[in-house]
Structure 1
């Protein structure tokens, strides 16, 4: 039994021993908080959370199954639920749409730079890195309302006890 000083209402609500929740850290190159880490946290008495942002539903399904094979304790899944998202498209197309939302801020910055006599920063030539490849992969991934609906369906289908989501603009 957990130390009564660490026992909180959250523990009772989530059926965990300690009020410790692993952040669902996901990414295009794979989740940091994958099945092994999630199961370890849950088995130790906390709540492990799978990082599934941008993850296709079939990959989420496999990760949830793997996690269930490693623990019988509660765990969660983390995705993102943007405020607005097109019905279809890619991450790159969404980024272009998102940049148009900030045109007023860009105009203000340009006016202030001119008023203060500041020069435009010069872009440094950049060497290609592995991160560039990962970023390109992210830009090719589907980014649509359909993706987010499918992700939620996977979570519900598996009856995952916990669900976390970043809400709003990514």
Structure 2
């Protein structure tokens, strides 16, 4: 029972870290006057992408784990570290990102762009042997709620919070990557 609670807490923290980019981009998009119905649809779409992307990653990770064992665990830890560093590094860039309009194809592109990192984490979790249902449930719910929060807060808050939230998410992923690799040191 305590193992399951520990895994659930870990998954929620990872889901929180992965949802930070959706939250921070949602903050920026929320500054546009979006109706509540559109905010609801954007959150659900991103939540669904945060279910499918890690699911695909989990399936690929379980396959790799069966075939390559310890080597696959090293790759998974390395992927988390790289992803965490990339998220932190992207907050230091001074370039303005082009905003994708959250309508139709633009919404799908937006949802894909903020959920691609969850594929890599799903791959790692598949290698590690995480419970598939718990992963996709945590990732989907947390990403949906964080997107809604970002969009709604974006109506009231300036963009300064966005870069800090993405850096925090990167630090959490970096820490989990290091944790996965500690048995090998």
TM interval, shorter chain, is under 0.3
Provide TM-score, normalisation by structure 2: 0.22
The structure whose RCO (Cα within 8 Å, separation 6+) is larger is 2
Greater Rg by CA: 1
Provide TM-score, normalisation by structure 1: 0.23
- More strand per residue: 1 or 2? 1
